[in-house]
Structure 1
Amino acid sequence: MTTDRLNARERRRAIVDLAWTDGRAGVGQLALHFGVTESTIRRDLALLTSEGRLARTYGGAMAHGHAPETPLGQRSREAFRQKQAIAAWAAEQIGPDETVLLDAGTTTGQLARELRDRDRLTVVTIGLTVLNELAEADGVEVLCLGGRLRHISQGLVGPFAEAALERITADRAFLGADAVTVEHGICEANLDQTRLKEMMMARAGRVYVLADASKLGRRPFHAWARMPATWTLVTDDGAPLDEVERFRAAGVDVIVTSTEVAAAT
């Protein structure tokens, strides 16, 4: 059967087969392969993701269990404006004299950049991106939790970081995520990361998960951080409305930021 004769159900089945064969399928590649528009493919991928048959990625989808952990340098180039918009909103929530926990990652690195001109602020972090952004921020007191460096994520994990975290509390915690779902919480490649995220959430008065649209509903790995009863998801305006509503229906406070505003800024 040729691809131009496939109906929608057959096309979606073929998309899943391609993702399992190649590990990942891009929107443009799939549109060309099946002779349909990219909008049609995006709708296919949204449905397949909601059914749990694929995991969304930035610009496409992949089969569950096929996701390699992406180096931080590569992730810093993905969804850049979306991360800027998310970081700008997050920075506005932080008041003077607060102590905030910043996770490792590219979006929290953007948040640290937004905080460089602040005074009377304490930032506690496990992320090298955060440390680099605040290295010359004289008005910000920076505390590093220490621990074992995960080179691929440029984050510190392990018992040293956990022991230091047990000795502090914070007004707010801003966490990154490889993915986030309504059912399971934050998905990461490593159990040490999920344990530390859970501890950070327990030590903070308010919890925010900073996740661009490509990370919603995905299950690329098998390590999960359980969420507290109350938390806020901060995403961008590329997030599928049905996915946003699923989080809200579960009692999650969802903030959708504007990438147009970030681009103009």
Structure 2
Amino acid sequence: MTRAGNREAERHRAIVDLVQRDGFAAIENLSQQFAVTPQTIRRDINALVGQGLLRRYHGGAGLPSSIENIAYPARQILHLKEKQAIARLAATQIPDAASLFINIGTTTEEVAKALLGHRQLRVITNNLNVAALLAQKEDFEVIVAGGVVRTRDRGIVGEATLDLIRQFKVDFGIIGISGIDFDGTLLDYDYREVRVTQAIIVNSRRVLMVSDHTKFGRAAMVRVGSIAEIDLLFTDREPPAAMTTLLREAGGQLFVADS
């Protein structure tokens, strides 16, 4: 990538971070902050809207709808280094010969990659991407849930998925999440996916949640549960104080990865 291309990519990441932090960013303010023309910022916003990362509004850009998630390919590269650092840290808490659930998500995919150095894991998943990754290991046993395969992310949902999850009680449930409200409510977009995540939480002895900082305060429509149900939270920045208090009052632990 050229130097100009690197600058543009860095500016795009910074714009997304600003919008996720503040909920909205005006073109004029962005132009001043990055010392570029308003036309350049408009092109940046158009590109980010095209990737599903932002939503265009009059005079600026805001977050995508609370009823629709960012496109999966865009999520796979968004904050990738942070997700990889989170995944490496989470993997250190999983011993060899453990049983675990792994749900749908780009960060949980990174956890699956970080677990390839482990031995004799037994993994139940509704994530075909995770299943394909872990099936490389001959000493792993990978069980794939039945149900409806979503073409957009190769996740599996539905009643058959729930039936399989409920047959197991595993050592660890590794879950991702789309948003954590400031009151500690865990949020997601698809009620069918939420039901699977809820079943994973109930049927895991310890629940590990992997979530980068952009999920703090992010809106999504469907309630999964509470941060108080999480045993170990892995992220890349300190959460807002209220979230941390709720987690620790419930006996949960916070792990902040150095990305």
* TM-score for the superposition, normalised by structure 1: 0.71
Distance (Å, rounded) in 2 between the aligned partners of 1:30 and 1:86:
35
Per-residue displacement from partner, 1:19-38 (whole Å, max 9, x unpaired)? 8xxxx7568x56334x3479
Residues 105 and 129, structure 1, Cα contact 8 Å, conserved in 2: no
C-alpha change, 1:117 and 1:138, in structure 2 (3 Å) is farther
Match of 1:188?
188
Match of 1:93?
93
Per-residue displacement from partner, 1:185-239 (whole Å, max 9, x unpaired)? 32111111111111100000111111101111111x21110135453221103x5
- 1:182 positional shift: 4.4
- 1:251 positional shift: 3.0
Distance (Å, rounded) in 2 between the aligned partners of 1:63 and 1:74:
14
SS in 2 for 1:207: strand
Match of 1:140?
140
Distance (Å, rounded) in 2 between the aligned partners of 1:171 and 1:86:
20
Match of 2:160?
160
C-alpha change, 1:92 and 1:36, in structure 2 (3 Å) is same
SS in 1 for 2:90: helix
Residues 147 and 158, structure 2, Cα contact 8 Å, conserved in 1: yes
Distance (Å, rounded) in 1 between the aligned partners of 2:174 and 2:61:
26
Per-residue displacement from partner, 1:31-86 (whole Å, max 9, x unpaired)? 334x3479xxxxxxxxxxxxxxxxxx79x973584663222211111000000011
Mean Cα deviation higher: 66-75 or 141-150: 66-75
Question: Does the alignment pair 1:248 with 2:244?
Answer: yes
Matches within 5 A, 1:1-265: 25=24, 29=27, 31-33=29-31, 35-36=32-33, 62=62, 65=65, 68-183=68-183, 185-219=185-219, 221-227=220-226, 229-237=229-237, 239=238, 243=240, 245-252=241-248, 253-259=253-259
Match of 2:44?
none
Distance (Å, rounded) in 1 between the aligned partners of 2:234 and 2:145:
25
Name the aligned partner's letter for residue 68 of structure 1: E
C-alpha change, 1:61 and 1:181, in structure 2 (3 Å) is farther
Distance (Å, rounded) in 2 between the aligned partners of 1:222 and 1:66:
6
Per-residue displacement from partner, 1:152-175 (whole Å, max 9, x unpaired)? 232111100100111101111111
Distance (Å, rounded) in 2 between the aligned partners of 1:188 and 1:210:
14
Distance (Å, rounded) in 2 between the aligned partners of 1:66 and 1:216:
14
Q: Name stretches of at least 5 consecutive residues in structure 2 with no aligned partner.
A: 1-18, 36-52, 55-59
Distance (Å, rounded) in 1 between the aligned partners of 2:61 and 2:108:
24
Residues 96 and 121, structure 1, Cα contact 8 Å, conserved in 2: yes
Name the aligned partner's letter for residue 32 of structure 1: L
Name the aligned partner's letter for residue 246 of structure 1: A
Distance (Å, rounded) in 2 between the aligned partners of 1:197 and 1:70:
19
Distance (Å, rounded) in 2 between the aligned partners of 1:194 and 1:205:
19
C-alpha change, 1:205 and 1:66, in structure 2 (3 Å) is closer
Name the aligned partner's letter for residue 247 of structure 2: G
Distance (Å, rounded) in 2 between the aligned partners of 1:185 and 1:86:
21
Number of equivalenced pairs: 211
Residues 104 and 155, structure 1, Cα contact 8 Å, conserved in 2: yes
C-alpha change, 1:124 and 1:72, in structure 2 (3 Å) is same
SS in 1 for 2:205: strand
Name the aligned partner's letter for residue 190 of structure 1: D
SS in 1 for 2:247: coil
Q: Name stretches of at least 5 consecutive residues in structure 1 with no aligned partner.
A: 1-18, 39-56, 260-265
